[in-house]
């Protein structure tokens, strides 16, 4: 009886446990399904966000933990949505600025190119494409379109004359700038300007000046000859005051004649019309002649012209033209040198070259003017309220170059300036 009761109790307990476990399993399966569904929803939302759909939102489930996760995911999507709006606004603003910059560049009268370090064209504005009559220029070599001076590399262009292939009777200048920004490191921007109109105007102006000065030269020479007749007493004897007045007139007349001759020679140099008569000349004799001629002018400011030639030697020059160059340099030294100082006129030979120099101890030349000192019409006279054409050094450099030489300058502002001519001995 007791055994039967025990078996009955065992069966009841086993049944109860089975019922409990069954119910428990059903509950777990439901929970697992909900979690699986939740994870599936989250995966779908993640994929939607990944492909740019930021309008989706995660739904909250009844579990506390998933509720927190859902809120975090929804906040993340909101943040992404805000960031996307900001990026879209930035992109819209950048597009507007880029379009404005493109329109601005295309409206410029200059042509603009951007190239890489190998001078392959990366971009160009409308003017360049118009000049070259092509719509597609990118990824082509710059040298296929532009001819630069033989003594220049493209990277060194600084307002230098260039030629565009296939274009005649047009004149261009170009400047190159290296782009040093982080995004464009190693790239170059080339700006090309069409200066045909300016060149034509300059040519007309120079032709007019050349014609005018040529016509002026005849009466000036006639006046000079007449003054010489007066001074020689051809028209009667003169007293001291008359002689002094006529000498002053003669000096002014000679300065005017020299000015006219300088303008004419500048024009001739430009047109390649100056013929040089080359002969062997003693350097020492040349420099001493110049010092003798200009000594009276130097004495007015108590300057001393000191000729330094340790060993005499000969150079091959056109005596008259080269003498004009040296006289111009010495005149400038007198003009800008301090009173009561030496002006050194020196010559030496070194290797296959002769070096002639003129050094004064005066105002010097400002650093910003060094590169401009040989430019046509540039004159330091204006700075010191004195008269000058600005053609003297320009013409001097051209004449030295015609002798296959160079004319350079070094200076320390406020202390000294030295002009040095380098000439081949053969």
DSSP assignment of 67-83 equals HHHHHHHHHHHHHHHHH
Q: Is 60 exposed, middle or buried (0-12, 13-18, 19+ CB in 10 A)?
A: middle
400 or 267: which carries more pLDDT confidence? 400
| Residue 112, strand partner residues | 191
CA dihedral 19, 20, 26, 29 (to 10 degrees): -140
283 or 251: which carries more pLDDT confidence? 283
Q: How far apart are CA 311 and CA 354, in angstroms?
A: 12
**Nearest to 407, CA basis, from 391, 420, 392:** 420
Break the chain into its structural domains and give their ranges.
17-107, 108-194, 202-271, 278-424
pLDDT per position as a tens digit, 155-177: 888 888 888 888 878 888 989 98
Tell whether the model's pLDDT for residue 426 goes beyond 90.
Answer: no
Sequence-ordered list of residues with C-beta below 8 angstroms from that of 158, at least 6 positions apart, any chain: 175, 176
Helix, strand, coil shares, percent, the chain, to 5: 55, 20, 25
Strand-pair category, 160-164 with 406-412: unpaired
Q: Are 124 and 144 in contact (CB under 8 A)?
A: no
Q: How far apart are CA 237 and CA 241, in angstroms?
A: 12
56 or 281: which carries more pLDDT confidence? 281
Q: How far apart are CA 275 and CA 404, in angstroms?
A: 14
333 or 69: which carries more pLDDT confidence? 333
Q: Positive or negative CA dihedral for 398, 272, 211, 169?
A: negative
Q: What is the pLDDT of residue 127?
A: 84
Percent of the chain scored above 70 by pLDDT?
81
Band of pLDDT at residue 37, cut at 50, 70 and 90: confident
99 or 352: which carries more pLDDT confidence? 352
Q: What is the CATH T-level fold of the domain 278-424, as seen in this structure?
A: Heat Shock Protein 90 (3.30.565)
Tell whether the model's pLDDT for residue 388 goes beyond 70.
Answer: no
Q: Are 347 and 287 in contact (CB under 8 A)?
A: yes
Mean pLDDT of 381-399: 61
Sequence-ordered list of residues with C-beta below 8 angstroms from that of 107, at least 6 positions apart, any chain: none
Mean pLDDT of 344-357: 94
E strands, 309-352, are 314-318, 342-350
Radius of gyration over every alpha carbon of the chain, rounded to an integer in angstroms: 45
Mean pLDDT of 270-292: 85
Sequence-ordered list of residues with C-beta below 8 angstroms from that of 70, at least 6 positions apart, any chain: 58, 59, 60, 61
Q: Are 179 and 113 in contact (CB under 8 A)?
A: no
Q: What is the pLDDT of residue 382?
A: 43
Domain 108-194 has CATH 3.30.450.20: yes
Mean pLDDT of 81-86: 84
pLDDT per position as a tens digit, 171-211: 889 899 888 777 777 789 888 888 888 888 877 777 777 67
Mean pLDDT of 47-65: 72
Q: How far apart are CA 369 and CA 381, in angstroms?
A: 12
Q: How far apart are CA 389 and CA 379, in angstroms?
A: 7
Q: Is 302 left (phi over 0), alpha (psi -120 to 50) or beta?
A: left
pLDDT per position as a tens digit, 294-324: 888 899 899 999 999 999 999 999 898 899 8
Q: How far apart are CA 407 and CA 314, in angstroms?
A: 19
Q: What one-character DSSP code corresponds to residue 233?
A: T
Separation of first and last alpha carbons in the chain: 147
Band of pLDDT at residue 293, cut at 50, 70 and 90: confident
């Amino acid at each position: 009886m007791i055994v039967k009761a025990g078996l009955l109790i065992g069966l009841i307990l086993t049944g109860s446990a089975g019922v409990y476990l069954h119910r428990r399993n059903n509950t777990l399966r439901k929970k697992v399904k909900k979690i699986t569904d939740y994870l599936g929803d989250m995966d779908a939302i993640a994929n939607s966000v990944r492909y740019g759909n930021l309008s989706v939102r995660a739904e909250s489930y009844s579990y506390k933990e998933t509720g927190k996760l859902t809120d975090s995911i929804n906040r993340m999507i909101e943040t992404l949505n805000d960031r996307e709006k900001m990026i879209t606004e930035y992109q819209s603003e950048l597009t507007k600025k880029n379009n404005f910059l493109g329109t601005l560049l295309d409206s410029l009268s200059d042509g603009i190119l951007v190239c890489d370090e190998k001078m392959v064209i990366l971009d160009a504005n409308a003017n360049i494409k118009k000049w070259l009559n092509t719509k597609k220029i990118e990824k082509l070599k710059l040298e296929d379109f532009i001819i630069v001076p033989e003594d220049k590399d493209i990277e060194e262009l600084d307002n230098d004359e260039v030629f565009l292939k296939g274009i005649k009777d047009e004149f261009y200048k170009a400047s190159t700038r290296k782009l040093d920004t982080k995004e464009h490191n190693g790239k170059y921007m080339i700006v090309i300007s069409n200066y045909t109109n300016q060149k034509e105007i300059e040519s007309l102006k120079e032709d007019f000046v050349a014609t005018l000065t040529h016509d002026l030269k005849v009466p000036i020479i006639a006046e000079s000859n007449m003054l010489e007749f007066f001074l020689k007493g051809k028209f009667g004897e003169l007293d001291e005051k008359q002689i002094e007045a006529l000498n002053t007139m003669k000096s002014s007349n000679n300065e005017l004649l020299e000015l006219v001759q300088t303008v004419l020679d500048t024009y001739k140099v430009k047109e390649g019309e100056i013929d040089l008569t080359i002969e062997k000349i003693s350097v020492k004799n040349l420099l001493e002649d110049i010092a003798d001629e200009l000594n009276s002018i130097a004495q007015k400011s108590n300057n001393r012209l000191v000729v330094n030639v340790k060993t005499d030697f000969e150079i091959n020059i056109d005596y008259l033209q080269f003498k004009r160059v040296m006289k111009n340099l010495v005149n400038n030294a007198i003009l800008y040198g301090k009173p009561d100082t030496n002006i050194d006129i020196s010559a030496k030979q070194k290797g296959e070259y002769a070096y002639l120099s003129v050094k004064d101890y005066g105002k010097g030349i400002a650093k910003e003017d060094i590169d401009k000192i040989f430019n046509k019409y540039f004159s330091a006279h204006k700075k010191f309220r004195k008269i000058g054409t600005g053609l003297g050094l320009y013409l001097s450099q051209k004449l030295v170059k015609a002798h296959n030489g160079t004319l350079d300058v070094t200076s320390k502002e406020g202390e000294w300036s030295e002009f040095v001519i380098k000439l081949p001995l053969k």
